[in-house]
Chains A and B, each alone.
Chain A
Amino acid sequence: MADMATKHQPLAQPIEATPRSAPRRRCSPSYFFLLPTLVIIGFLSLYPIVYSVVLSLYDWNWGARMNFVGLRNYTNLLSGSEFWQILGQTFYFAVGAVTIEVTLGLVLAVIVNGLGFGANIIRTLLLTPLMVSGIVVALIWKVMLDPMLGIVNYFLSVVGLPPSPFLGSQATAMNTIIAIDAWWQTSFVFIILLAGLQSLPAEPHEAARVDGASAWQTFWSVTLPLLRPVLFTVLIFRTIDTLKVFDIVFGTTGGGPRLATEVIQTMTYRTAFSYLQMSQAMTVMVIFSIVIVIISLIYLKLESHGEASGRGKDTP
């Protein structure tokens, strides 16, 4: 991977030869500073990608059996129903969790932004779930949502609602995990949107108020459009993060009951480490990575577009 850095070196020279300020002209150590990143991250990313793509063309079970099978892993995977079901469930989880988190996070950010006394303490307290690891989040909720002995069903009975099997039934398990993720990660959306709100200029809001706009109108047509870039960034990070969900599924249901909560990454774990189908697991990862890359590139495209039309004016 070292040649990756050196290969880029000549490319940099012509541009470095005509820099803006004189002191930077003599030598160009720019790629020297980037060398550790290019070498280490280059290796840690390119090696697995190439390895996965190559091995996905084989039939390998961790052992001596390694036969070239061409695209058979791909055709098997894509023609079966299990992969599509699990991919669908993964997206269902992501869309559900992100929708709830962004909605709740936005509401909380607006509310805390409007608070005077105690806002800082409330912000600090709302941040705590982010410090808790996913596996602990999973175990906490597993205890609280126990159908027989859990405190949540007890609370439901107190207010006269029927108990729910939560994680124990195919019908409710996935939505329960979505709710758990919302408890865990709404804080992330909240804290970033709160900072976004606090960095907004005051003038447009004052102008709207002078014009007699209601609070709701001001929020809808002034605050929200101004907040759009931040909202967009939060949205993409939560989307990718939820698509990659592993620990809270692993810790609560392990993908069950009957695959009802299986997602792509738990499926890969099972395929590779329980069934020892290494090549099939890599095939899943190659396809899934392509999906992730496409979503990320669409985001970058949209973001740079938004920057050109929206924020470009302020920055020289």
Chain B
Amino acid sequence: MRTLGNVSRRIFTYGIALLAVLVTLFPIVWLLNVAVRPQREVFKLPPNLGAPLILDHFQAVWANEGFRNSFMNSVWVTSIGVVLALAIAIPAAYGLSRFRISAKVLIGVWLLLVYMLPEFLFILPMYALYQVVGLYDTHAGLALIYQVHSVPFAIWLIRSFFHDVPGELDDSARIDGCSYFGTLWRIYIPITAPGIAATAILTAIWIWNELTIALALTFSNAHTITVGVSSFRGYAAMRWGEMAAASVVAIVPMLLFALIAQKYIVKGLTLGSVKG
């Protein structure tokens, strides 16, 4: 009786897990489906799964120069943004985890609040400022404003990775004549490289997927892929194929990224909150 109960419970839990997987994946599969079928086939209900597979929508989307540029803009903004975030956050995380700083708590609270504040609080004043200083609609300007979100996040994560570095290691490096900077560069960064990679990946995913700020602070030069995709919003009435193809182009890099770096992503996502 007991084993029978166990078996049925097993079946039940696997059933729920598989249902969750199905509900999770179906919309993404459906998006792919819409992107590779002729327009008129997509509107047929019940869906015609035997409809021909075509790449016309992808060709149409990629032929659009504005959309092509938006992809490259996202590559640029993401790269600059990640490098900037790490360059700012790594030293700060080192400083916060290895020195006794009187304002440590204050800085921590301030960073958390900056992270929590709504996007438009930053967007509106920066829109005005960027127009004046020439950073509006530029890769650098967008990557810079992203730091209000990325730097607190990166400091938070990297700091918890640095906490795991044994103090003796860093004391002995200091005694051996390493400068603080040398200790950070030769001891901390190599030891916590997987953690830093996790931080970089999560920051890249966030920047790549960000819409709100990019929508307001870019126009025709630096508009990112999410802005490009959102311009298909008006097409929703009829041109589903192109809208879906553009969406697929926007999410494939991050899905591949996730597939390759899954271990790091899980590590980064869970570390900060689980270890406190």
A residues within 8 Å of B by Cβ?
8, 11-12, 15-16, 19-21, 23-24, 28-34, 36-38, 40-41, 44-45, 47-49, 51-52, 55, 107-108, 111-112, 114-115, 118, 122-136, 139-144, 149, 151, 154, 183, 187-188, 191-192, 194-196, 199, 229-230, 233-234, 237, 240, 243-244, 246-247, 250-251, 254, 264-265, 268-269, 272-273, 278, 281-282, 285-286, 288-289, 292-293, 296-297, 300, 307, 311
Contact = CB atoms under 8 A, between A and B. Distances in A.
Contact of B124 (A16, A52, A130): A52
B21 to A, nearest CB: 5
B25 interface: yes
Contact of A141 (B27, B103, B148): B27
A269 to B, nearest CB: 7
Given A49-B121, A108-B20, A246-B119, A183 B114 contact: no
A144 B99 contact: no
A-B pairs with lowest CB-CB distance, top 8: A33-B95, A133-B209, A195-B270, A30-B99, A51-B125, A48-B125, A33-B91, A37-B92
Interface stretch (B50-58, B59-67, B189-197, B246-254): B246-254
B94 interface: yes
B13 interface: yes
B268 to A, nearest CB: 11
Interface residues of B, number: 96
B88 A230 contact: no
Nearest to A197: B274
A23 B269 contact: no
B175 A23 contact: yes
B205 A269 contact: no
Interface string B13-37: 1101110110111011011001000
B76 interface: no
B118 A133 contact: no
Nearest to A54: B125
Interface in B220-276: 226, 229-230, 232-233, 236, 240, 243-244, 247, 250-251, 254-255, 257-258, 262, 265-266, 269-270, 273-274, 276
A300 to B, nearest CB: 6
A47 B123 CA distance: 11
B96 A273 contact: no
A145 to B, nearest CB: 10
Contacts of A127: 258, 262, 265-266
A265 B118 contact: yes
Contacts of B226: 133-136, 247
A52 B258 contact: no
B157 interface: no
A78 B129 CA distance: 28
B1 to A, nearest CB: 16
